[in-house]
Amino acid sequence: KAGVTQTPRYLIKTRGQQVTLSCSPISGHRSVSWYQQTPGQGLQFLFEYFSETQRNKGNFPGRFSGRQFSNSRSEMNVSTLELGDSALYLCASSLQGADTGSPLHFGNGTRLTVT
Amino acid sequence: DQQVKQNSPSLSVQEGRISILNCDYTNSMFDYFLWYKKYPAEGPTFLISISSIKDKNEDGRFTVFLNKSAKHLSLHIVPSQPGDSAVYFCAASGRTGTASKLTFGTGTRLQVTL
C-alpha cells in the first residue's frame, strides 16, 4: 500500500500571503489529521476530518482551515501568513480515527517557510 | 496546558543496553497510549501502543508499560541499537471530549552510542 503523500515538500511564502497544502491518505483510511511541528513545541494538533466532516479542532486561529473530499484526500489552508507560521506541517491518516486508538500514519510533511 | 509530558529532552545509551523513555499525562480520560519514532526530514512512525485496560504490551525489542494510578508510561528498548537513534514521541487519546484527539508530548531524543 502507498503511504500518506503530502505535497509540496517545501514551500516559501511571504508574510500576508495564503497557502494550501495537500494530503493523500492511505487507501481505505477515512480519517485525516493535521499537525504543526515547531522546534520545542512538539506536534500541535490542528484538526481532524472523518468522512468529509471536521470532527475535532485544535487551538489555532481561524486563519487555519481545512477540508476533506469524498475520496478522503484533504487540504489545509492558511491565510494571511505570519512569520510564526513557519513550521513542518504533518498530515496523518487512520482507519477509524484517534478516538478509537487506531494508530495514525504520517506523511513526511510540508516544510513551510514564511519570510 | 501540556496534557502529555516528556520531561527528558534527550537520552544517551550504549549499544546493547536498555533504553527507557518516560512519559506522564494528566488527562484521566485518555484510553490509548502510543509511541512514535521520528527521524529527521521524515514523518513520525508508529512503534507500539497500549490501551488503558492493560499494563504491559510487548513487540520484539519494544515494551510499553502503563501505570494508570501514577498516570505514567514508559517505553523500554532492549537491546538498544544504533538505528534506534531518533526522537521518540509518546501520544495519548481517548473516546470522548478533550481526549478524543491524539495529543503528543514534546519528544525525547535518543542517541545510541557504539
- Structural domain boundaries of chain B? 4-113
- Mean pLDDT to the nearest integer, B54-71: 97
User: In B, residues 34-53, which contact A (CB 8 Å cutoff)?
Assistant: 34, 36, 41-46, 49, 51
CA atoms within 13 A on the CB side of A79: 5
> So what's the pLDDT on residue B99?
75
Residues with Cβ < 8 Å from A46, sequence gap 6 or more?
A: A33, A34, A35, A36, A57, A58, A60, A64, A66, A76, A89
In whole angstroms, give the CA distance from residue A111 to residue B17. Answer: 35
Place of cell 502510543: B34
Of A64-68, B17-21, B26-30, B99-103, the range with the lowest mean pLDDT is B99-103
> So what's the pLDDT on residue B83?
95
- Out of A99, A104, A109, name the one closest to residue B100 (CB): A99
Chain A residue closest to B52 (CA)?
A101
In whole angstroms, give the CA distance from residue A87 to residue A24. Answer: 20
| Average pLDDT score over chain B | 94
Of A37-46, A61-70, B23-32, B42-51, the range with the lowest mean pLDDT is A37-46
Does the pLDDT of residue B76 top 80, yes or no? yes
**Is the CB of B46 less than 8 angstroms away from the CB of A104?**
yes
Cβ-based neighbour number of residue B11 at 10 Å: 16
pLDDT in tens, B93-108: 988 877 788 999 999 9
Query: How far, CA to CA in Å, does A14 sit from each of A86, A102, B9?
Result: 11, 37, 32
Does the pLDDT of residue A39 top 90, yes or no? no
Does the pLDDT of residue A1 top 70, yes or no? no
| Average pLDDT score over chain A | 94
Question: What is the band of B1 on the pLDDT scale with cuts at 50, 70, 90?
Answer: low
**pLDDT exceeding 90 applies to what percent of chain B?**
88
A55 pairs with which residues across the strands?
A: none
- Mean pLDDT to the nearest integer, B10-39: 96
* Right CATH for B4-113 from 2.60.40.10, 3.40.605.10, 3.40.1790.10, 3.40.50.20: 2.60.40.10
Residues of B with CB below 8 A from A104's CB? 46, 102
Contact A115, A17 (CB under 8 A): no
Cβ-based neighbour number of residue B90 at 10 Å: 27
Does the pLDDT of residue A109 top 70, yes or no? yes
pLDDT in tens, A44-76: 999 999 999 999 999 999 999 999 999 999 999
